[in-house]
């Protein structure tokens, strides 16, 4: 088992854009549709459907937004892409802009990545120089530019409607959906929000074709995925693998075989116990934006749940009750468990609360913040019940 080089293959700056501009907008979207690519930011919405909805929307203004907020704990593959593949990304944004009929692209870059801004600005300036941006891109009847806007430290702003609120100069509070951004996005105009990796894959697909892309992956989850792997393994880092790869193979790759659990998809993802390491990455089973955290045998699973719940308590925007009130309740429960002070009856109530949060929260944050708690309390019962806390020295 080795990692692959697929969307990370060599790419000549401007090559995908040249191809795209020689085609009609519908043909560009057709190429993307044939590749079967689904969003790499986590939710897995088919990119061609998103672009097409934007393209057919009637509006004098449209936007394409690159989501570079990468805040999911354990995710860092966009960091690598933004620093080492800016040319492919900027091509991808421009191609997307052409496909949907936008004149402006916006990169929403998280505040923690402010150190990348000068490099990206330089890449943008070079593209303007080379007619890859600006009036009449590559001499065609297509005006397009890209602007960078910075976040200011809020995980929830990675959620696309919160991101749009933030761009508009407001608190990053998620909106009700529908309406979706493809109809009513930035300043009310149709807006396609895409992850960094999605846009890079799209640029590669334009150059190398849908069949090249589908050489890897499964029928439902085509192509490859960049994984950010950290935690208790010997070789953490960014890896590219085909969708459909099992956790067992991934652990072999990073030399983390002794793990007792793997956290797939970050704090909002799933906690997979060792007996299920045969499970595979993909939208069929373990969907992920790419975060894989290896949890070694020495770790306390309640410590894991506590760390994640502290994260959600801090990052909840507080707009809706299940998420605002539920996360602190679950956190309190984990601390009770840690002190050995939680009955099975009360635990069951907390689990019901967790399921209510999944069902009743307004956005993806509250809908997934109970996942790890529910997985850990289900799969690690013998480890978490009846604790006798260490006495204080």
Partner 1 sequence: MLATERESLRHEIAELAEKYEHKRDGMMPVLEAVQEKYHCVSDFAMQEVARQLGVFPTEVYGVVSFYSFLSTEPRGKFAIRLCRTLSCDFAGKREVARQLENELEIKFGETTPDGLFSLEYCNCLGMCDHGPALLVNNDVYTEVSPELVSDILEKYRRMFGPASQLEEKEASHA
Ligand X SMILES: Cc1cc2nc3c(=O)[nH]c(=O)nc-3n(C[C@H](O)[C@H](O)[C@H](O)COP(=O)(O)O)c2cc1C
126, containing H or E segment: helix 117-129
Stretch 313-352 residues interacting with ligand SF4 (CB under 6 A): 316-320, 323-324
Residue from the set 52, 224, 361, 377 that interacts with ligand SF4 by CB under 6 A: 361
Is 366 a binder of ligand SF4 (CB under 6 A)?
A: yes
> Nearest to residue 304, comparing CAs of 237, 367, 250, 371?
371
Asked if 5 and 216 touch (Cβ cutoff 8 Å), the reply is no
**CA–CA dist 379, 363 (Å, integer):** 26
Burial class for 152, CB neighbours closer than 10 Å (0-12, 13-18, 19+): exposed
The DSSP 8-state label assigned to residue 298 in this structure reads T
Residue 293 pairs with which residues in a beta bridge? 230, 263
Query: What's the min distance (Å) between Cβ of 195 and ligand X?
Result: 3
Q: Which is nearer to partner 1, 137 or 301 (CB)?
A: 301
Phi then psi for 38, rounded to 5 degrees? -115, 155
Q: Does 310 bind partner 1 (CB under 8 A)?
A: yes
How deeply is 225 buried, as exposed, middle or buried, from its count of CB atoms within 10 A (0-12, 13-18, 19+)? buried
Residue among 16, 36, 71, 223 that touches ligand X (CB under 6 A): 71
Contact status: 245 vs ligand X (CB under 6 A)? no
Contact with ligand X (CB under 6 A): which of 3, 67, 291, 327? 67
Nearer to ligand X, 218 or 316 (CB): 316
> Which one of ligand SF4, partner 1, ligand X, none is in contact with 97 (Cβ closer than 5 to 8 A by kind)?
none
Query: If binding is defined by CB under 6 A, does position 159 make contact with ligand X?
Result: yes
Q: Count CB-CB contacts under 10 A for residue 138.
A: 16
Tell me how far, at minimum, the Cβ of 288 lies from ligand SF4, in Å: 20
By CB under 6 A, tell whether 16 contacts ligand SF4: no
CA-based nearest residue to 369, from 352, 379, 380, 355: 355
Question: Between 64 and 93, how does the x/- string for binding to ligand SF4 read (CB under 6 A)?
Answer: ------------------------------
Determine the Cα–Cα distance for residues 92 and 206; give it in Å rounded to an integer. 9
Partner whose binding site includes residue 311, from partner 1, ligand X, ligand SF4, none (CB under 5 to 8 Å by kind): partner 1
Nearer to ligand X, 41 or 322 (CB): 41
As a whole number of angstroms, the distance between CA 230 and CA 25 comes to: 40
CB of 114 to partner 1, least distance (A): 4
CA–CA separation, 279 vs 272, rounded Å?
Answer: 9
Instruction: Give the one entry of partner 1, ligand SF4, ligand X, none that residue 316 binds, where binding means its C-beta sits below a cut-off of 5 to 8 angstroms depending on kind.
Output: ligand SF4
Cα 58-61-65 angle, rounded to 5 deg:
110
* Min dist. Cβ of residue 380 to ligand X (A): 25
* DSSP state for residue 318 in the 8-state scheme: -
Write out the residues near partner 1 by the rule CB under 8 A: 70-76, 78-79, 110-115, 149-155, 166-172, 187, 228-232, 236-238, 263, 267, 293, 296, 299, 303-304, 307-308, 310-311, 314-315, 317
């Amino acid at each position: 088992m080795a990692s692959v080089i697929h969307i990370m293959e060599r790419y000549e700056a401007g090559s995908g854009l040249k191809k795209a501009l020689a085609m009609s907008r519908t043909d560009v979207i057709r190429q993307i549709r044939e590749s079967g690519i689904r969003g790499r930011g986590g939710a897995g919405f088919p990119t061609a459907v998103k672009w097409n909805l934007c393209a057919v929307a009637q509006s004098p203004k449209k936007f394409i937004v690159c989501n570079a907020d990468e805040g999911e704990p354990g995710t860092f593959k966009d960091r690598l892409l933004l620093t080492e593949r800016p040319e492919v990304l900027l091509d991808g944004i421009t191609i997307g802009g052409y496909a949907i009929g936008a004149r402006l692209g916006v990169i929403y870059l998280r505040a923690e990545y402010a150190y990348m801004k000068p490099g990206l600005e330089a890449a943008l300036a070079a593209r303007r120089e080379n007619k890859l941006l600006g009036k009449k891109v590559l001499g065609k009847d297509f005006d397009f530019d890209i602007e960078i806007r910075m976040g200011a430290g809020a995980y929830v702003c990675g959620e696309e409607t919160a991101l749009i609120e933030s761009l508009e100069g407001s608190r990053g509070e998620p909106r009700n959906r529908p309406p979706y951004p493809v109809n009513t996005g930035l300043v009310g105009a149709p807006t396609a929000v895409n992850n960094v990796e999605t846009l890079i894959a799209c640029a590669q697909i334009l150059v190398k074709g849908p069949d090249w892309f589908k050489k890897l992956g499964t029928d439902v989850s085509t192509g490859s995925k960049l994984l950010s792997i950290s935690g208790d393994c010997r070789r953490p880092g960014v890896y590219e693998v085909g969708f459909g790869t099992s956790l067992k193979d991934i652990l072999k790759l990073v030399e983390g075989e002794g793990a007792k659990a793997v956290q797939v998809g970050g704090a909002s993802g799933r906690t997979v116990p060792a007996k299920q390491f045969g499970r595979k990455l993909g939208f069929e089973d373990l969907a992920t934006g790419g975060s894989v955290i290896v949890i070694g045998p020495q770790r306390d699973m309640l410590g894991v749940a506590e760390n994640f719940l502290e994260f959600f308590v801090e990052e909840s925007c507080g707009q809706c009750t299940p998420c605002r009130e539920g996360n602190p309740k679950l956190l309190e429960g984990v601390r009770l468990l840690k002190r050995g002070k939680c009955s099975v009856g009360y635990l069951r109530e907390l689990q019901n609360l967790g399921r209510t949060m999944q069902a009743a929260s307004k956005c993806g944050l509250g809908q997934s913040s109970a996942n790890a708690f529910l997985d850990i309390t289900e799969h690690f019962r013998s480890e978490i019940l009846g604790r006798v806390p260490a006495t204080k020295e």
